[in-house]
Structure 1
Amino acid sequence: MVAPDLPIGDRIRHYRGRRRQDAVAGLVGISPDYLSQIERGLKVPSLPVLYALAQELGVPAVALLSDRPPPDEESAESAEAAVGRALLGYGPARSTEPVTADVLRDRVETAWHTWQTSGDRFSTAATTLPELVADVEHATRAARAGSDADERRAVLRTAADLYCLLRSYLRRTGRVDLATLAADRAMRAAEDADDPLRIATAQWNLGHVLLAANQPAEAEELALRAAERVAAAPVPQEKRQAMEGALQLVAVVGAARRRRWDEARKRLLEHAVPAARAVPDGSNVGWTVFGPTNVALHALSIDMEAGETSEALHTADAIDTSPLVSLEREFTFGLEVAACHSQRRDDAAALLSLLGLEAVAPEDLARNPLARQIVLTVIRRGRAMHARQAEQLAVRMGLV
């Protein structure tokens, strides 16, 4: 069984196994070079060639094509579907006594901590989030209808925190639609709680949803407006600077995604760096992980996305990720280093970086599109030894 999003060329290579490329090409009636280009994704085979390859490889022709099911065929038993049902109101009966704000706050904080630090965070979230979402949704409905103003505000604050976590989880599981809904719920809960810090955090999350939806200009505009508002908000100075800096980083990413590298670097240096000087790495205000190290990681990201791999690797050498409180950010750092090595066609270094990431965050590695792309690239062009190691890694990642 191969991953449903595995390209045709990689499927053909997988089913060809250890058979010689020139031998298979000859039996199909095409040149070895043409088959090589197909497997490397440089050529798309015609239907007659595809059928001939399938017959020679002993598989149905459909096995060489993508078999990803449509979104509406998502399994009703999947974790994403369970979270979605809870988010859309499939929770406890209205007559059930709601969980108190204090208990919910502890559970949400535990869920956030696990999400940011655990190597198996997706599996853990799959078992904890559906019930937690249902309980928070039920408590929120009860609090809105109740007369206890303090309990209502506490529940809404906790709800805003949970919805921000849901945004991160749902975006990384491919449900940008539900991530958008979660970000909107976070904003509504934060506004109803009249909590300026959480409003800014919700806007930060919404900015990331816009980035995931390939709307970098909109994300940048939203983040800059939110940064102006939080700068004037009645919030303790360190927290205010942390949220303003985190929002500036969203704007930095938005500029970089639009290939405005100079603008991204200027905003990073003039706005994010000064804010980070006043914010310790371990503060983690709004679960944004904003601080000096995270700002340095964004400088690396700009260099990597701009294709300036030598400068990016030089930047990476100077970064110490140990102060980070988020394994996710450490994973992103390692993945971008692997991407830089891949861009430089240093497949051995890219593979070594990926194997290191597998040791600390195997679920992130298996789910990340860039990681999957790098693995396939090593398989396609790497030396025999590296290609074999990459093939074994692809099996463990569920690619093949």
Structure 2
Amino acid sequence: MVAADLPIGDRIRHYRGGRRQDAVAGLVGISPDYLSQIERGLKVPSLPILYALAQELGVPTSALLSEQPPDEEEPTYTAETAVGRALFGCGPDLRTPPVPTSELRDRVDAAWQSWQTARDRFSKAADALPGLVTDVEHALRAARAGTDPAERRAVLRAAADMYCLLRSYLRRTGRVDLATLAADRAMRAAEDADDPLRIAAAQWNLGHVLLAAGRPAEAEELALRAAEQVATARMPQVERVAMEGALQLVAVVGAARRRQWWAARERLARHVAPAARAVPDASNIGWTVFGPTNMALHALSIEMEAGETSEALHTADAIDTSGLPSLEREFTFGLEVAACHSQRRDTAAALLALLGLEAIAPEDLARTPLARQLVLTVIRRGRAMHARQAEQLAVRIGLV
């Protein structure tokens, strides 16, 4: 069984197994070089050649193509579908007493902590979030019908934080549609609570949804407008500086996604760096992980995406992620280092970085498209020993 997103060339390589490339090519009637180019994704086989390859490898032709969903597939339970039902009001009757606000607060904080630090954070979030969303939604309905303004505001704050977490989880699991809904509800809850910090955090989350949806110009515009609002908001100095800096980072990413490299670098130096120097890494205000190390990680990202791999790796050498309160950011750092090595065609270094990522965040490695692509690249390009190790890694993360 192979993953549905495994390319044709990698499927052929997988089913070829230990058979020699030149032997299979000769039996099919093509040159070994042509088969090598097919397996590396440089050539697309014609249907007759694809059929001949399938016959020789002993598999149906469909096995060498992307898997098609079954014609009659029964709905299956997933955390995302359960979250969707909870978001759309499938909760307990309003007469049911809500979970106490203090308990909700503790559960939201624990879920955030787990999401940012656990090696198996996707599994833990899948277990915790459906019930948490249901309970928060029910508590919100009860609070809005109640008469205690302090209780209502406390529930709204917990809800805003929970929705921001939900946005991050849903984006990482590919549900950008539900992530957009969660970001909107976070904004609504923060505004109803009249909480400037949470309003800023909700805007930061919405910016990330727009980036995930492939709308970097809109994300940049929203982030810059929100940063201006934060600059004059009534909140403690360190919170204001941290949220303004985090929003500026969204604008930096938006500029980089539009390939405006110099604009991204200038904004990072002029607007983000001064804020980052004033905010300790461990503060993690608004769960944004904003601080000097996070700023350095974005500098690395810009150079990596711009193809300036030497500069990116030079930047990476000076970064120490050990003090970050987020395993996700540490994972992203290692993934971008692996991507830089891959761009330089240093498959041994790329493989070493990927194996290190498997040790710290195996679920992220299995779920991240760039990570999966890098594993396939090592299989295609690497020497026999490295290719075998990458193939074993591909099995462990569910690619094959």
Structure 2 counterpart of 1:308: 308
Q: Deviations over 1:244-275 (max 9, x none)?
A: 00000000000001111100000000001001
What one-letter code is carried by the residue in structure 2 that aligns with 1:57?
L
More displaced, 166-175 or 38-47?
38-47
- Structure 1 residue 351, shift from structure 2 partner: 0.4
Distance of 2:266 and 2:344 partners within structure 1: 26
Partner of 2:275 in structure 1? Answer: 275
TM-score if structure 1 supplies the norm length?
A: 0.98
Per-residue deviation, 1:93: 2.1
- Counterpart CA distance in 2 for 1:56 and 1:185 is 55
Write out aligned runs for 1:159-174 (5 A). 159-174=159-174
Q: State the shift of 1:323 in Å.
A: 1.3
Spell out the pairing of 1:134-153 with structure 2 (5 A cutoff). 134-153=134-153
* 1:311 maps to amino acid: E
Match of 2:80 in 1: 80
**Cα distance in structure 1, aligned partners of 2:381 and 2:73:** 35
Q: Is the 8 A contact 1:203 1:222 kept in 2?
A: yes
Distance in 2 (CA, whole Å) between partners of 1:79 and 1:18 is 39
Number of the residue aligned with 1:121: 121
What is the CA-CA distance between 1:75 and the residue it aligns to? 4.5
3-state SS, counterpart of residue 323 of structure 2: coil
- Asked if the contact 1:5–1:68 (Cα under 8 Å) also holds between the matched residues in 2, the reply is no
1:377 pairs with 2:377: yes
* 1:7 paired residue number: 7
Q: d(CA) in 2 for partners of 1:104 and 1:69? A: 39
Aligned-pair distance for 1:120? 0.3
TM-fit CA distance, 1:29 = 1.6
Distance of aligned partners of 1:396 and 1:325 in 2 relative to their CA distance in 1, 3 Å threshold: same
Work out the CA distance in 1 between the residues paired with 2:16 and 2:76.
35
Q: Is the 8 A contact 1:74 1:81 kept in 2?
A: no
Q: Which residue of 2 is the match for residue 351 of structure 1?
A: 351
Indicate the residue corresponding to 2:111 in structure 1: 111
Q: Deviations over 1:274-316 (max 9, x none)?
A: 0111111111010000000000000000010011001111100
Q: How much is the aligned-residue C-alpha RMSD, in angstroms?
A: 1.2
Aligned position for 1:193:
193
Deviation for aligned residue 1:123: 0.5
Partners of 1:73 and 1:152 in 2: CA distance? 43
Q: Residues 1-400 of structure 1 correspond to what in structure 2 (within 5 A)? A: 1-67=1-67, 69=69, 75-400=75-400
Deviation track 1:170-199 (CA, whole Å, cap 9, x = no partner) reads: 000010111001001101111111111111
Deviation at 1:74, TM superposition (A): 8.6
CA shift, 1:327, in A, is 0.4
Residue type of the alignment partner of 1:262: W
Aligned partners of 2:255 and 2:173: how far apart in 1?
25
Larger mean Cα displacement after TM superposition, 33-42 or 123-132: 33-42
In 1, Cα distance between the equivalents of 2:317 and 2:328? 19
Given that residues 342 and 374 in structure 1 are in contact (C-alpha distance below 8 angstroms), is that contact kept between their aligned partners in structure 2? yes
2:159 partner SS: helix
Secondary structure at the aligned position of 1:246 is classed as helix
Q: For residues 185 and 53 of structure 2, what CA distance do their matches in structure 1 show?
A: 50
Counterpart contact for 1:111–1:125, Cα < 8 Å: yes
Conserved? CA contact 1:75–1:81, under 8 Å: no
2-structure distance, mates of 1:74, 1:254:
39
Give the aligned residue type for 1:174.
G
CA contact (8 A) 1:76 1:82 kept: no
Cα offset for 1:34? Answer: 1.5
Shift of 1:115: 0.2
Q: Residue 282 of structure 1: SS of its match in structure 2?
A: helix
For residue 69 of structure 1, report the CA deviation from its aligned partner: 3.5
Amino acid at match of 1:117: T
Matched residues in 2 for 1:36 and 1:13: separation? Answer: 9
The CA distance in 2 between the partners of 1:173 and 1:74, in whole Å, is 21
How many Å apart are 1:133 and its aligned residue? 0.5
Task: Out of 30-39 and 338-347, give the one that drifted further.
Answer: 30-39
CA–CA separation in structure 1 for the residues paired with 2:205 and 2:316: 26
Equivalenced residue count is 399
Output the CA distance in 2 between the equivalents of 1:167 and 1:305. Answer: 24
**Contact 1:379–1:391 (CA under 8 A) maintained in structure 2:** yes
Distance 1:300 1:222 in 2: 23
Q: Distance in 2 between matches of 1:86 and 1:6?
A: 33
- Counterparts of 1:313 and 1:114, CA distance in 2: 30
Deviation string for 1:61-118 (max 9, x for gaps)?
A: 1111111549x96943112212222222222222211112211011000000000000
Q: Percent identity?
A: 82
Partner SS state of residue 174, structure 2: coil
Q: In structure 2, how many angstroms separate the alpha carbons of the residues matched to 1:261 and 1:277?
A: 22
